[in-house]
Each structure stands twice: as C-alpha cells, then as structure tokens.
Amino acid sequence: MDINPRAVDCACENAALNGVHITALLSDLFEMVKGRFDLVIFNPPYLPLSEEGDLEKAWAGGEGGIKVVDRFLNEVADHLTPHGRVLLLISSKMNLDELFSRHGDFSRMTIASRRFFFEELSVVELRIAKEE
C-alpha cells in the first residue's frame, strides 16, 4: 500500500517483471486495508520536514520525523493477528524518545542497523506487549 499512485504502479510492474503475485493498494495507511496480518513491514517517510507536495510525502515525516509513523502505530494493532509483528525502519534523525513514549503498548527489538555519514538507520521489530 502507498499513498502515491506512481509507487503502487511501480510495485505492480516490478512484481510482474519478477513473476511475483502481489496486491498493491492505493491507500493512506490502513484506509483501504481489510484483514489481519502476521507481518506488516513499513518503510515510512521519516525526515523531520513538513513539506506536503506529492513527491515530498515520500520522505517528509513532519515535525520530529514521526508524524506518519505515529499515525501508523495508532492503527496497526487493529490489523495484526494475535502473534503479529511489525518491521519498521527508523532513523536517528527521528524523535524516537517521543515516538516510543507514546506507544508503550509495543515491545521492540532492533533487528539490524547501519550507520551512514549523516544518520543511522535501523529496522526494529515491534510486537504488541502482552500484559502479565
């Protein structure tokens, strides 16, 4: 799913070229998504910019770089199976303390990290925290 129709078309074309069957949706996050999933992978726009053009939406994550991720985390639990998980790309450019303080209902574990000259990117696995 993507909010950009060109990204949806590109995903479909790439899948077809590689003999892979996918369903790609034009959707603002979970707006058009039905059902529950064992795994949701999200590479969000995360740069701390507030630009609103169609192209800029691919990387501009709003104030603190967390506007879109915050919305995603508010909605994703309704689309996960009981043992479902999320793989989320995060950046050291994001206000991660604020983001994760708002979403303490998820446990998280870093799966992989890579440092670049201007930021560190990590993939974190999120699961809905179980109450003991």
Residue 39 has pLDDT above 60, yes or no: yes
Q: Give the span between the Cα atoms of 33 and 26, in whole angstroms.
A: 9
Identify whether residues 60 and 115 lie together within a single domain. Answer: yes
Cα distances (Å, whole numbers) of residue 74 to 45, 51, 67, 118, 129:
16, 22, 11, 29, 14
Identify whether residues 1 and 50 lie together within a single domain. Answer: no
Identify whether residues 62 and 116 lie together within a single domain. Answer: yes
**0.85 exceeded by pTM:** yes
- Domain CATH code at residue 48: 3.40.50.150
49 in helix, strand or coil?
Answer: coil
**Burial class of residue 64 in the structure, from the number of CB atoms within 10 Å of its CB (0-12 exposed, 13-18 middle, 19+ buried):** middle
Q: Give the span between the Cα atoms of 104 and 7, in whole angstroms.
A: 31
Identify whether residues 45 and 5 lie together within a single domain. Answer: no
Res 47: pLDDT: 85
Q: Could you give the percent of the chain with pLDDT greater than 70? A: 98
Tell me which residue range forms the domain holding 101. Answer: 36-128
Task: Print burial letters for 81-96: b (CB count within 10 Å at least 16), e (below 16).
Answer: eeebbbebbbbebbeb
Identify whether residues 9 and 50 lie together within a single domain. Answer: no
Identify whether residues 28 and 70 lie together within a single domain. Answer: no
Residue 126 has pLDDT above 60, yes or no: yes
Q: Which residues pair with 126 in a beta bridge?
A: 86, 108
Identify whether residues 124 and 86 lie together within a single domain. Answer: yes
Res 131: pLDDT: 57
54 in helix, strand or coil?
Answer: coil
Interval 61-116: pLDDT, tens: 888 889 999 999 999 999 999 999 999 999 999 999 898 898 888 999 999 999 99
**Number of separate domains in the chain:** 2
Identify whether residues 23 and 43 lie together within a single domain. Answer: no
